[in-house]
Structure 1
Amino acid sequence: MTPPNPSPREQALAAGRGKPTSRAVALYAQLREDVFEFRLLPGERFTESEIAERYGVSRTPVREALLRLQTEGLVRGYFRSGWEVVPIDFARFDDLYELRKLIEVHAVRQLAGGAVDEASQQRLGALVADWIVDKSARLSDARVVSGLDEVFHTELVAAAGNQEMLRVHAEVTDRIRIIRRLDFTYPHRVSTTYDEHAAILRAIQRHKPDQAELLIRAHIDRSRQETRKITLHRLQTVRTEAKQYAPA
């Protein structure tokens, strides 16, 4: 019997547990993490040879990993001029957050305002099981909660049933992930996310589209504000530390 495909939730919980199956995959995962953690700073330039030497691999997996990161918008290559970590453009991120908000507002209004099919009910039921829980049952690992947070927003859009909106939402999610994951840097953001997700789900369950819209708007705006603040702080901290330890 063919084993069932893992659910989005199972994929989020399993993220980072598996071992890479090739050097290119391993290097991709390491470079991606280094970009996310600002060990490779926005705007930093480098060559494939420098990366190969730094990580102790040949240039072939380096190129494969960098091309994959380029498709995610994390790095960009220049003809005969090496590569660059894409600089953080907050105006662009604001635009992406606005697009995300439009899609998710539509989704929660659809879900709260009308009948949904059985598949959508199952998606919502899975989200309720994750987020409307006793405080003692809440997860505390920020990285795991970050993954489940992404699943929450994706599944809301999926439950609304518009496949084109889901596709665009996935693209937006990919592009904001570099700063969005910082939303869980501080422990209080985990508990706040549980509270806010539960409130959104309850508004949907009670068929209150106006309330659901207000809640999702406030939730996304608050996340955008937190990630901007944390990103700026992290960048400043990393750059200050780099200057302190730079050779005289």
Structure 2
Amino acid sequence: MQLLRSDSRTKERPENLAERIYGQLKDDIFEFRLLPGDRFSEGEIAARMDVSRTPVRQALYRLEREGYLEVYFRSGWQVRPFDFQYFEELYELRIVLEIEAVKRLCERPADQPAPLLDELKVIWCVAAGEYLSDGREVSQLDERFHCQLVEAAGNREMARIHADVSEKIRIIRRLDFTKVPRVELTYQEHARILGAILSRRYEEAQLLLRAHIEISKAEVRKITLHMLHLARERATPEKGDSHVS
């Protein structure tokens, strides 16, 4: 497996070091430099990053809590294998939360201020010439769009659970923005969803939102499978080399 190396010879606060290692490893997982099923040890990561094992262990346990890694006390760490059923269930939960949020937003009095929705209009209800082209940036804005819809509904516990679900599916959801047509469609679909909510057309908003999420889910599954295939093909020459390089 080909991972980015890190130079940590300069003095750095332990908490900052653990945060940086966490970010680097998470990026390696997201970019398929660490593949589902890959195994490694704390010592291998510490050697690659030129750090002690303590901040590495902190970063690894954080990734384990978030569901990206599994720990085996006799054989080290493993990138969690892809479980599409798990992601399907998370998407289903996300749909339930967002549909309920849309219902609550549509039931509000038309004259009640909605600053979070106003913010979303500024970003998404724009002319095609104003669409952003950076897929990573659009991915972050897309996640924020859906989280903000739930936040705007006013139930903090719903928003917390939804944010947790969004974090768990981010590893595959962001792949939806690697193709220009999907970026353009996201702008158009978000604008229509907002228009239906602001006009209190609940059934239309519900249908638009559900279709938007279902299409995205199908697309990211297809892209994920393709990218995993390509990543494994690149890693084939290194098969048998079980060490982090």
Aligned residues: 228
For residue 219 of structure 2, the aligned residue among 207, 214, 226 is 226
* Structure 1 residue 117 displacement after superposition: 8.2
Q: 1:39 aligns with which of 10, 33, 37?
A: 33
Q: Secondary structure at the match of 2:77?
A: strand
Could you say if the C-alpha distance between residues 127 and 170 of structure 1 is closer, same or farther in structure 2, counting changes exceeding 3 Å?
same
Asked whether the 8 Å contact 1:113–1:208 carries over to 2, the reply is: no
Report the residue type matching 2:101 in the other structure.
A
Match runs of 1:17-36 below 5 Å = 22-36=16-30
| Map 1:71-150 → 2, pairs under 5 A | 71-115=65-109, 121-150=114-143
Aligned-partner SS, 2:78: strand
CA distance in 1 between counterparts of 2:240 and 2:146 reads 45
| Counterparts of 2:71 and 2:23, CA distance in 1 | 18
Partner of residue 150, structure 2: 157
TM-score by length of 2: 0.88
Instruction: Give, in angstroms, the shift of residue 247 of structure 1.
Output: 8.1
What SS is found at the alignment partner of 1:83?
A: strand
Question: In the aligned structure 1, how far is the partner of 2:54 from the partner of 2:124?
Answer: 43
| Cα RMSD (Å) | 1.9
Give deviations 1:144-189, integer Å, cap 9, x for gaps: 1111101100000011112221121112112111111111111211
Matched, 1:59 2:53: yes
**Structure 1: 5+ residue stretches without partners:** 1-19
Give per-residue Cα distances to partners, 1:205-231, cap 9 Å, x unaligned. 111000000000000001100110000
CA 1:42–1:117 in 2, change beyond 3 Å: closer, same or farther?
Answer: farther
Please give the alpha-carbon distance, in whole angstroms, between the structure 2 residues aligned to 1:84 and 1:117: 53
57-66 or 143-152, which moves further after superposition? 57-66
3-state secondary structure, aligned to 2:70: strand
**Match of 2:7?**
none
Equivalent residue number for residue 175 of structure 1: 168
Letter in 1 for 2:60: L
Amino acid at match of 1:150: E
Matched residues in 1 for 2:78 and 2:112: separation? Answer: 46
Partner of 1:216: 209
Distance 1:98 1:246 in 2: 36
What percentage of residue pairs aligned between the two structures are identical? 53
**Change in CA separation of 1:201 and 1:45 when aligned onto 2, cut-off 3 Å:** same
The match for 1:200 among 177, 187, 193 is: 193
SS at match of 2:36: coil
Contiguous gaps of at least 5 residues in structure 2: 1-12
Mean Cα deviation higher: 95-104 or 170-179: 170-179
Contact 1:107 1:160 in 2 (8 A): yes
- Deviating beyond 6 angstroms after TM superposition, the runs of 4 or more aligned structure 1 residues are none
